[in-house]
Structure 1
């Protein structure tokens, strides 16, 4: 299965690849050059297809866990001051996605969307410390039954030029549900309560809608 955000790009790439293969077949006499063009066209098509893949991952919602919103590698776990919405310290878990990762964003928890805003910005590399506040990004906040309000940011990277965000204020969403897409290299920051138990480590690879990022800490613990 492929994500709907890639449909136009996939179709365009397919026709370009077919055209290159046909042109090289009929008009390129040098065999090595003809084969090279055809291989490059096929490789490019395969890369586009793998980038927009959208594996189905059924989720039984777990209200006491925050699941990974994307596939990637954990690059930061830190306490930060969040100035846009919370205006207080939060536990930030940052996940970097390479161009080879699945780039679907999924809701990390079930709840109600209370805030959703797009910010234009720069295109610093996604692991740059200032990318969270200076890059093109979206900020989404949701109210959850166990954790209260949690947030996440989709952050464009050096190659990304478009963030797709489906979250709308007032909407009820379900853990694991499709929340959007970021094209060509990016990062997602989770903004969690300070008292939750982080379940991942730096450099750990995580899988969207499967890996537990944080667990609810009972008040008597």
Structure 2
């Protein structure tokens, strides 16, 4: 399935692909060089990659309210304790996920809950692999979610290629674990922040590949008194 957020891009690249095919066909006809027709395969492959990039695969959400699922597809690049003053107002465990051009870019809610905070941050477009720099300076969108027992923050961060972040819920929206909450177009990272006051046990390690909505990124126990 192709995500509904890609309608403009799919139309734009389709027109571009057809134009490229037309130019190649005309050159082959005018010059009489039939071998030029083989070049048509390149714009076709490019358009195929565009469709591949904007895929939105279905996911089976694992049962269990204690399970926190990955908010994005990609590779775990960070698991560390940091200050999170924007929404949580204190120390939090940050889990960073890098999304390459070859992974689906749909973001999903890691828990059941209600959206309490959304803020867009304009910024730069540093390489999303450089977590410390891009986390502070890149274009980003923050989504604060309250699941009734604790709050957490999902941060969508644009990368060196990405130029558009899509956030579908609004403040007050009720989310189900694994529900789609948006996407980041063309290479990016997603970060999950959970307060250290919560008894959260990570179930992933650095370099591990996760899938949005289906991979268990950690397990929640009882809240710890600060």
TM-score range, shorter chain: over 0.9
- Mapping for residues 169-188 of structure 1, pairs under 5 Å: 169-188=171-190
Q: Mind listing any 5+ residue stretches in structure 2 that lack a counterpart?
A: none
TM-fit CA distance, 1:40: 1.1
Partner of 1:6: 6
1:59 CA displacement: 2.8
Taking the aligned partners of 2:147 and 2:223, their CA distance within structure 1 comes to 16
| Equivalent runs, 1:76-155 vs 2, <5 Å | 76-128=78-130, 129-146=132-149, 148-155=150-157
Distance in 2 (alpha carbons) for counterparts of 1:61 and 1:177: 14
| TM value normalised by structure 1 | 0.93
Q: Find 1:54's aligned residue among 53, 56, 70.
A: 56
Helix, strand or coil: the match of 1:125? coil
- Counterpart contact for 2:116–2:171, Cα < 8 Å: yes
Residue number in structure 2 paired with 1:161: 163
Aligned to 2:33: 30
Q: Distance in 2 between matches of 1:219 and 1:114?
A: 20
CA contact (8 A) 2:88 2:153 kept: no
Q: Distance in 1 between matches of 2:117 and 2:175?
A: 13
How far off is 1:219 after superposition? Answer: 5.8
Matches within 5 A, 1:39-78: 39-59=41-61, 62-78=64-80
For 1:172 and 1:23, the matched residues in 2 are separated by: 50
SS of 1:196 mapped into structure 2: strand
> How many residues end up aligned between the 2 structures?
218
| Matching of residue 213 in structure 1 with residue 203 in structure 2 | no
Secondary structure (helix, strand or coil) at the match of 2:160 reads coil
Runs of at least 5 residues in structure 1 that lack an aligned partner in the other structure: none
User: Equivalent residue of 1:21, what SS?
Assistant: helix
1:162 CA displacement: 0.5
What do the CA deviations read for 1:28-62 (whole angstroms, capped 9, x no partner)? 232333312x0111111011000100111243663
Q: CA RMSD in A?
A: 1.6
Instruction: Point out the more displaced range, 208-217 or 7-16.
Output: 7-16
Distance 1:51 1:42 in 2: 14
What SS class does the counterpart of residue 56 from structure 1 fall into?
coil
For the 8 Å contact 1:61–1:175, the answer to whether it is kept is no
